Amino acid sequence: MAMNNTVTEFILFGLTQDPRKQKRIFVMFLILYLATLVGNFLIMVTIKNSSNLGSPMYFFLFYLSFTDACFSTTTAPRLIVDSLSQKKTISYNECMTQVFAVHFFGCMEIFVLILMAFDRYVAICKPLQYMTIMRRQVCVVLMLVAWIGSCIHSTAQILLAVQLPFCGPNVIDHYFCDLQPLLKLACMDTYVINLLVVSNSGAICIVSFIILLMSYIVILYSLKNHSAEGRRKALSTCTSHFIVVVISFGPCIFIYTRPATTFPIDKLVAVFYTIGTPLINPLIYTLRNAEVKNAMRKLWCSKV
């Protein structure tokens, strides 16, 4: 279908067309992006080099940080560069690649959060069987399944995207390529494809959020049988996870579970979940986690 298109490139409208605001966007998002990379890199290096962080929870946290860094990289660099460019163009193939990457790493983040919730469920509800159930080989297999599931989801998205014929106009009212703004430019009735998009991305968001919500309800219910210290530690860990779940799923549910309509706030919501969430995650997991902070302090003090 792509060969029948008269459009070979798209123009990204970006967040604004005001030159003064674009300069501010360049500075602000460059700082945010670098902070995201540094924060997630510090967590990955700390977990990789600390013997005290060898539990399954930190195994999954390592991959969450890796996914966050990659997820931010799918959109932030282009937004930063385009804020200083006169012509914000992206080729058709680059656009399709961005659609694939955004959905791959976005879905990967959701699956990793589910695995982290499962890890906490086993640790709190089945503590005597924890090391048997969550042994290293099982964690590796679970991560492999998450990678495969993300690949299937993003492949389905890209197969829907390449079915869209474009004959003009070619201005995407967004700062990155995604199916919703592309559907507005397609020279065809997109009702069916939009239903497929909602049933794919929307279903993953809603079902995953319900699964996570139910798992934390079960965890909180089971805490009544624990000691006061055990409840405090479990609540601290689960609270961090639940905060990440809310800030990750809220924007995604808002964007991907509704018909193909756009609102002025859509781009701000997209900024939050593509750039803000990958930055906030490492802050939550370090500021609220004494083990990570202590391991990071020991590691970097020894290096210095």
Dump pLDDT digits (tens) for 81-114: 998 887 889 999 999 999 999 999 999 999 999 9
- pLDDT single digits (tens) 255-289: 888 766 667 788 888 898 899 899 988 888 776 67
Model pTM score: 0.89
Peptide linkage before 169 cis (omega within 30 of 0): yes
The pLDDT tens digits for 172-212 are: 988 999 888 888 888 888 888 888 888 888 888 888 888 88
Q: How far apart are CA 272 and CA 267, in angstroms?
A: 9
Give me the residues paired with residue 11 across strands: 89, 171
Strands laid side by side in the 171-172 sheet: 89-91, 9-12, 171-172
Q: How many domains does the chain have?
A: 1
Which structural domain, as residue segments, surrounds residue 74?
2-303
DSSP-assigned states of every residue in 96-160: HHHHHHHHHHHHHHHHHHHHHHHHHHHHHH-GGGHHHHT-HHHHHHHHHHHHHHHHHHHHHHHHH
CATH number of the domain bearing residue 123: 1.20.1070.10
Pair of tokens at residue 181 = 């703004």
Residue whose pair of structure tokens reads 């924890």 in the numeric block: 130
